[in-house]
Structure 1
Amino acid sequence: MPIRSASARWQGNLTEGSGTIRTGNGGLEGNYSFKSRFQEGEGTNPEELIGAAHAGCFSMAFSKGLADAGFTPTSVETTAKVHLDKTDGGFSVTRIDLETVGDVPGIDAADFQKIAEGAKENCPISRLLSPGAEISLVARLSA
């Protein structure tokens, strides 16, 4: 299996400095700063990138689970809301709320939920993050 990489460059002190985050193959690149991470400033932050990774991984795992059960999804759209909170040990990602909507012809709601829960438990990013963060899931079929 390939080894994936990403890099970051930071210039200056914590509150006034700024940096750039980039994926190894150049697919994503973004500026980040204290304000984009801890306030509402422009740019990205590590938590958004974790959310993007988790949403992408979950969507792929869910699509695979659906296909394994005999359903072909038209689409799976997932949002991951990553909570960065101050704890006794410092700042920590404490919770990730996954919200997914699937357009899956021929599936009933119970099967949809069961397969979605399986994807949440088994996608590699969920397995990485779940020991330290609570992961919730709201899954619904598109109308």
Structure 2
Amino acid sequence: MKRKATAVWNGDIKTGAGHITTGSTVLNKTQYSFNSRFADGIGTNPEELLAAAHAGCFTMKLDLDLTQAGYTVESLETQSVVTLDNGKITKSELTLVAKVPNISDEEFQVIAKGAEETCPVSQGFSFEIVLTATLV
């Protein structure tokens, strides 16, 4: 499987702007700029897109692992916060709230940690990944 996205940038780093389009066109000429990356400008940025990819991948992998272990998932909600520090991405913090009937917290934590370590996006990152998983 291969997926693609295209980024276009015009101008210098501070006053220029660009847009990102994904192969599926879910993002279609979505704006990004210096302000959307480093301030509160309108548009997306690479770190936000990495956070979305990490949250989505981990959540799908966890659902697969729980299902294969014989559990029926009621809901999984994951937030990823990606940290950019001194020009380097240093961390992705995953915060998960899950409703999975008939599973002990101990087994849930083991399966969640396994999913965090084996989801394809986690495996592609070389920076720290922190998981906080709460079973409700």
TM-score range, shorter chain: over 0.9
- RMSD between aligned residues: 0.9
What TM-score results when the alignment is normalised by the length of structure 1?
0.91
* CA offsets 1:45-89 (integer angstroms, 9 cap, x no match): 011001101100000110011011110101111111000111xxx
Gaps of 5+ in 2: none
Task: After TM superposition, give the deviation of residue 140 of structure 1 in Å.
Answer: 0.5
Listed as ranges, the matches of 1:60-75 within 5 Å are 60-75=60-75
Listed as ranges, the matches of 1:83-94 within 5 Å are 83-86=83-86, 91-94=87-90
Amino acid in structure 1 at the alignment position of 2:101: P
* CA offsets 1:75-113 (integer angstroms, 9 cap, x no match): 111111000111xxxx11100100111111111111111
What TM-score results when the alignment is normalised by the length of structure 2?
0.95
Gaps of 5+ in 1: none
Structure 1: which 4+ aligned runs deviate by more than 3 Å?
none
Count residues with an aligned counterpart: 135
Task: After TM superposition, give the deviation of residue 21 of structure 1 in Å.
Answer: 1.0
The corresponding residue for 2:15 is 16
Listed as ranges, the matches of 1:1-143 within 5 Å are 2-29=1-28, 30-86=30-86, 91-129=87-125, 132-142=126-136
For 1:72 and 1:6, locate their aligned partners in 2 and report how far apart those are by CA, in whole Å: 34
